[in-house]
């Protein structure tokens, strides 16, 4: 076999491997078309929902039908049934997926804050009890996180969890937070939502969602279970699956958190999917979506740590200011 032929085979195998990796999708929708650009059609007699694609790509003017395994886009019992995902982007497909955060998936933020970046690398970022940090900061989007925590006697750092997220874009701010709960009850909703400083109530019946048009963007907060699970969508920017959960007694014991008896440290588990991030995106999580990004953490150790608290700390949950932040508020919004 000639050297030229061998080289050609190596190139082809490399290209195939690369396409497989890219096909996994890291939660940044750049270049994939508008997968959500479709009209809802009436369901089939079987109850299978349909979408008529309008995105001008290979899926243009096609009708996609949800499979019988997941006939509905928004099943009422999220824990028992997968939802139908209609993708009118370049993939032009329908798939069945759980409508909840995957803590081992790309763009996840869970536990004593453990991230999985856009590069697929897992790392921990502890921040500080009571601190606020820029998770994502880009030209048109900023997401800050408020950390709660505790430091048992004899420890050199805080145990921390994300209690609230502030999503800032255009002139608006959407806040998703976990309420302080002294005794956890699965039958009680511990979710709190605010839009531009005003509390929002998410319905539990019908479509079980709240939505608003804001300067051309559609903002949707929809329940994906009866309580404590939501999907948040800011069109053209980000989609998030969020769960509110407590620190349980067994978890507290195993990790020796020494949680006080009057606080369950309710916090958020979140998975992000972004659209149209710039190549210079910043933030604890955001920077991992940069083209060619190489993680500085030590891969292979039990708890790979990401530093940079000083670079990403913000004065408040609602402030877009940090040493490396890129987002700048448009005029017209009073700070609160």
Element (H, E) at 19: helix 3-23
Beta-ladder partners of 220: 211, 233
Would you give the end-to-end CA distance of the chain in angstroms? 71
CB atoms within 10 A of CB 3: 7
| 226 contacts: CB under 8 Å, gap ≥ 6 | 204
Q: How far is CA 247 from CA 110, 244, 256, 267, in A?
A: 12, 10, 11, 8
Which segments in the chain show pLDDT lower than 70? 1-35, 76-79, 330-336
Structural domain spans, the chain: 38-97, 108-312
What local confidence, expressed as pLDDT, does residue 32 receive?
Answer: 36
């Amino acid at each position: 076999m000639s050297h030229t032929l061998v080289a050609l085979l190596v190139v082809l195998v490399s290209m195939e491997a690369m396409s497989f990796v890219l096909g996994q999708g890291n939660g940044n929708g750049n270049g994939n078309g508008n997968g959500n650009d479709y009209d809802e059609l009436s369901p089939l007699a079987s109850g299978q929902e349909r979408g008529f694609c309008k995105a001008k790509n290979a899926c243009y003017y096609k009708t996609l039908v949800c499979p019988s395994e997941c006939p509905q886009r928004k099943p009422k019992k999220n824990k028992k049934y997968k939802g139908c995902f209609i993708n009118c982007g370049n993939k032009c497909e329908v798939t069945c997926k759980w409508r909840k955060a995957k803590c081992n998936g790309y763009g996840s933020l869970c536990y004593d804050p453990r991230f999985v970046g856009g590069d697929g690398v897992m790392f921990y970022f502890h921040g500080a009890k009571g601190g606020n940090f820029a998770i994502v900061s880009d030209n048109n989007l900023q997401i800050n996180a408020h950390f709660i925590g505790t430091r048992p006697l004899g420890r050199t750092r805080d145990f921390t969890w994300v209690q609230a997220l502030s999503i800032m874009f255009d002139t608006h701010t959407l806040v998703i937070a976990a309420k302080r709960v002294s005794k956890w009850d699965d039958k009680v909703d511990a979710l709190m939502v605010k839009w531009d400083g005003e509390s929002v109530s998410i319905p539990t019946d019908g479509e079980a969602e709240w939505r608003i048009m804001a300067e051309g963007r559609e903002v949707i907060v929809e329940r994906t279970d009866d309580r404590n699970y939501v999907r948040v969508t800011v069109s053209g920017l980000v989609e998030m699956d969020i769960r509110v959960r407590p620190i349980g007694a067994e978890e507290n014991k195993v990790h020796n958190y020494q949680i006080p008896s009057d606080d369950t440290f309710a916090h958020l588990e979140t998975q992000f999917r972004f659209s149209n991030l710039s190549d210079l995106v910043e933030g604890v999580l955001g920077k991992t979506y940069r083209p060619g990004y190489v993680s500085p953490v030590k891969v292979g150790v039990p708890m790979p740590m990401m530093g940079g608290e000083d670079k990403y700390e913000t004065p408040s949950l609602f402030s877009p200011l940090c040493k490396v932040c890129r987002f700048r508020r448009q005029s017209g919004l009073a700070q609160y």
